[in-house]
Amino acid sequence: MWTYEKRLEYPVKVTGNDLRMAKFLLAQYGGPDSELSAGVRYLTQRYSMPTPRTKGLLTDIGTEELAHWEIIATMIYKLTHGVPAEVMKEAGMGGYFTMHDNAVYPANPDGVPWTAAYIQATGDPVTDLHEDMAAEQKARTTYEHLIRLTDDPGIKDTLRFLREREVVHFQRFGEALDQVYEYVDSKKVF
């Protein structure tokens, strides 16, 4: 159960419509390494974590990833808001417009819809935490690529914030992995 505060975790400022950048941002909205994939992954894996502390960490980070998903959606919406169909078509987003108009829909930049096949939950906390650390590194790399694809200072600022959160999540998952190893090593069976 969550309490929802009706404001973004970080403000989203854009200077105008930019369909090219909106399309690139779909990688973090509906791609395999997107904020949606991360949030669903962590909120699923939390159930098989062996300690309340690691369960809580996955719940916290999974929830934050959904907040990041909302930030990405806001950027995409602001970048595409009010753009007519013919302009969407010229920008290579005619197929997207056909199916979604200017709505924000979880698909990758190539138009492939998000799928639960993007997430992993093995039930083994060590394996899952390694998966989570890799996911955070992939997201960090994607944000670095996205930053290089825009000149908009507001978008760059927001993307830098999101990139830094990926670094923090990677560090927290590393700490959680150490805790899981300690827990496993402390179990004594006679």
Which pLDDT tens digit goes with each residue over 35-51?
A: 999 999 999 999 999 99
Q: What is the mean pLDDT of the chain?
A: 94
Q: What is the pLDDT of residue 1?
A: 59
How much of the chain exceeds pLDDT 70, in percent? 97
pLDDT of residue 24: 97
Residue boundaries of the structural domains of the chain: 32-77+122-186
| CATH class of the domain defined by 32-77+122-186 | mainly alpha
Tell me how far CA of residue 84 lies from CA of 23, 34, 75, 88, in angstroms.
Answer: 15, 27, 18, 6
The whole-number pLDDT of residue 5 equals 80
Q: What confidence tens digit (pLDDT) does each residue in 2-23 have?
A: 677 889 999 999 999 999 999 9
pTM exceeds 0.85, yes or no: yes
